Amino acid sequence: MGNRFVKIIFLSCFGISLILLQPFPALTAAITDLRFWSAPDHTRVVLDLTEPIQYEVFSQESPPQFWLELKVVSLQIRKKEVDVNDPFVKKMSLTELGKDKVKLTLYQKKPLNANVFTLKPYQDKHHRLVIDLVDILQEKKEQEERQRENESRPKGTKIVVIDPGHGGEDPGAIGPRKTMEKDIVLKVGEKLVHFLNQNKEIKAFLTRKGDYFIELKDRIKIAREYRADLFVSLHTDGSFNPQARGSSVYCLSLSGATDQAAKILADKENMSNLLGGASARHASIAEDPDRDEILLDLMQNYSMKESFRFAESLLEDIKAVNPLKYLSYRQANFIVLKAPDIPSVLLEIAYITNKEDERLLKQKGFQERVAQTVASSIKKYFKE
Ligand SMILES: [Zn+2]
């Protein structure tokens, strides 16, 4: 501290330009926010930091507790204790240990597996430290339930998996009135699943049932566990141009994108993992170790043809609800559409960055009209 004091005096005598010649030693990182997201099988805790940090990890079995000691860190937040109270974690607290060490304690309701990783700044996100406390048993149970749904389906029943994009740390595109894509697509997704399940021959499920993030490859994994016959990812578009409007429909491309705009959109949607926070833990789960490449190619060909067929009929129907941005579907390299064995389509419902579209997207009536239209498109797709 003494050293810094001397330097401050030095700088104030000789002017600001000296900062470049004589930089300060590395500053203490500050913790500026603490949040959590509750998923069905884990709780994600996120710390916002001004600088990258070093930490040590500790845990104990009884009572089950997990804590991190963060080094060269100061606290710049008021809330030092937060009630989580989800199925896995009771609360979390931040306490200062000495002058530049902080302890983050997570009080668990049961034994959990911890997975800690950092995320680099991206767009308006700071350095982040992420702690996932995972209930492995629950994770397995969810997986088995999905497989059971597939095995117990009556003959002729089609399974549809609806994927509300983004979630948790990743808000998706944000409207002028701060409406978030992740909230709108979840609402439309819930309505769509409800309408689909009114048909005896269709069983529909969501990849994400709340405000938490699922990695893009894990969304495919969920659809494959259900052995879905169709996968529809729901999004709302965003643009720097506030006049941009219209619905659009996308399919996967294994070669290049159909145009530059489709490529930019796919790149943006694929960035979701950077915003939402992808851990290394799940990176390889979606890959099947003994997969047959030739068979996969055949399946991919078939599911792409089927995706185009559905995309065409969806465009035909959706234009009655909202004007189209393009008259035909576009193709690009969307990670979330890469299930080789499931026809997969991505719908950009409207532009959340357009004032008028944002107003519509927030309306329950509009959300229902979109959901009903997509549901009847899906029904038609299975009948043809
Ligand atoms: Zn999106």
Instruction: Supply the DSSP symbol for 353.
Output: T
User: What pLDDT, on a 0 to 100 scale, did the predictor assign at position 24?
Assistant: 45
| Ranges assigned E (strand) in the chain | 29-38, 42-49, 54-60, 65-71, 73-75, 81-83, 89-96, 101-108, 113-119, 127-134, 158-164, 202-206, 230-237, 248-252, 330-332, 344-351
Q: Strand 127-134 and strand 42-49: pairing?
A: antiparallel
Instruction: Find the 371 Cα to ligand 1 centroid distance in Å.
Output: 17
Instruction: Find the 3 Cα to ligand 1 centroid distance in Å.
Output: 49
Instruction: Find the 167 Cα to ligand 1 centroid distance in Å.
Output: 10
Sign, CA dihedral 77-82-88-90, equals positive
Give the Cα separation of 172 and 276 in Å (integer).
9
User: What pLDDT, on a 0 to 100 scale, did the predictor assign at position 143?
Assistant: 95
User: What pLDDT, on a 0 to 100 scale, did the predictor assign at position 220?
Assistant: 96
Instruction: Find the 267 Cα to ligand 1 centroid distance in Å.
Output: 11
Instruction: Find the 181 Cα to ligand 1 centroid distance in Å.
Output: 7
Instruction: Find the 173 Cα to ligand 1 centroid distance in Å.
Output: 6
Give the Cα separation of 189 and 206 in Å (integer).
7
Instruction: Find the 103 Cα to ligand 1 centroid distance in Å.
Output: 36
User: What pLDDT, on a 0 to 100 scale, did the predictor assign at position 299?
Assistant: 86
Ion ligand 1 residues within 5 Å by Cβ: 165, 172, 235
Mean pLDDT by 10 residues, the chain (384 residues): 36 35 61 96 96 93 95 90 95 93 96 94 92 96 95 94 97 97 98 97 97 96 96 97 96 91 92 84 53 80 95 97 96 94 97 97 98 98 93
CA distances from residue 245 to 181, 288, 351, 361 in whole angstroms, order as listed: 15, 40, 5, 12
